[in-house]
Amino acid sequence: MAPPNIKLNSGYLMPQVGFGLWKVDNATCADTVYNAIKTGYRLFDGACDYGNEKEAGEGVARAIKDGLVKREDLFIVSKLWNSFHDKDQVEPIAKKQLADWAIDYFDLFIVHFPVALKYVAPEVRYPPGWTFSEEDGIQLSNATIQETWTAMEGLVEKGLTKSIGISNFQGSLILDLLRYAKIRPATLQIEHHPYLVQPTLVELAKSEGIAVTAYSSFGPQSFRELEWEKATGTPLLFDHPTVVALSKKHNKTPAQVLLRWATQRGLAVIPKSNSQHRLEQNLNVTDFDLEPQELEAISALNRNLRFNNPTDVRSSNLLTESS
C-alpha cells in the first residue's frame, strides 16, 4: 500500500514516507535507489553533503528507463550545503546538483543548516564538508539567512525546484525568516525521535503551515554507526521496554512503532535500510494506529537529547558526517 501524501503550502503533494540517502554507500547507491523504487518508495531525500547524488540519479534513471516510474511520479529532495549560502553561489550549485541527479528540477530543495561557511569551489573539493581547508579549518561566511533565502526563492521562480524548505532551524530563526520570506518554507526537516520530541518546535511549524519531516527517527541508531560517543552511550530505542511492548501488542517491529509514532502525529519520515524486508516494513507504517495513551507513552521518553547539533560547528562529530 502506498503511503499517504502531505499537502504542502506550495500546493504540491509530498509522500509521508520516503527513503533517506544519508550514509548510503556510493558503490551500492544506484542499486539501492532502483530497488527502493521497485519496492514502492517515491520520495528520495538527498543532499550535496551525502556525496552520492550521481549514483542516486543513476538509480532513478534506470527505473525510469525500465518503465517502473515516470519522473513526475517521484519526489526528489536535495539540500543546499553550508558553503554555498552566498547569494551568487546558490543557483550554480543547485544546477550542478540537478546535473548530478540528471534531472531538470527538484521537488524540494532545502537549506541544510542555518550555518554559512566560506565558499569552497566544487572543482577544489566536492562535497566540501565543514572545513575550508586542512590548514584553515572552519571558516564562516558573512551570508545572512535572508540573503540565502532570497536566492532560494529565485530557484522556484526559475523552475529549478518546485518547493523550498529548511532543515535544522529552531523556532526563533523560523519566525525571523517568515518576516521577509516571499515564498514560505514548505517543510522543516529536524532530528526527531522519542529522545528528542521538540513539541514546541513541531507545533510552531504546524501553526505556520510548514510540514515537518523527521530524520534519525530511530534515535541513536544512525549515529552509533559513526561511533559517536553520545550515541554509543545511549540505550537503543529498539530495545526500550515501552517500544518493545507496543511492538508485541500491535505485531509490528520496533522500527514500525517508532515510525508510526511520527506519522500518526502528522510528520513525514525518511528511514533507510539495506534489507529488502525492512524496506517493505518501513514503507508500511500508516496501516495501523497507536492509541492516544500509547503515543503519549512514547513521547514521555523524551530526554531533549540531540545527537546532531548544527551550532556546534567545531565538533569533531560534525566534521565526520552530517544528516
Cell of 263: 506519522
Tell me if 63 sits within 8 A of 35, measured CB to CB: no
Tell me if 202 sits within 8 A of 267, measured CB to CB: yes
Residue with cell 534531472: 103
- The catalytically annotated residue of 34, 41, 50, 119 is 50
3-state secondary structure of 87: helix
Rounded-to-integer distance, Cα 187 and Cα 181, Å: 14
Rounded-to-integer distance, Cα 257 and Cα 178, Å: 34
Residue with cell 549515529: 223
Residues 6+ apart with CB under 8 A from 65: none
Rounded-to-integer distance, Cα 268 and Cα 13, Å: 12
Rounded-to-integer distance, Cα 238 and Cα 226, Å: 18
Give catalytic status of residue 50 as yes or no.
yes
Task: State the catalytic residues.
Answer: 50
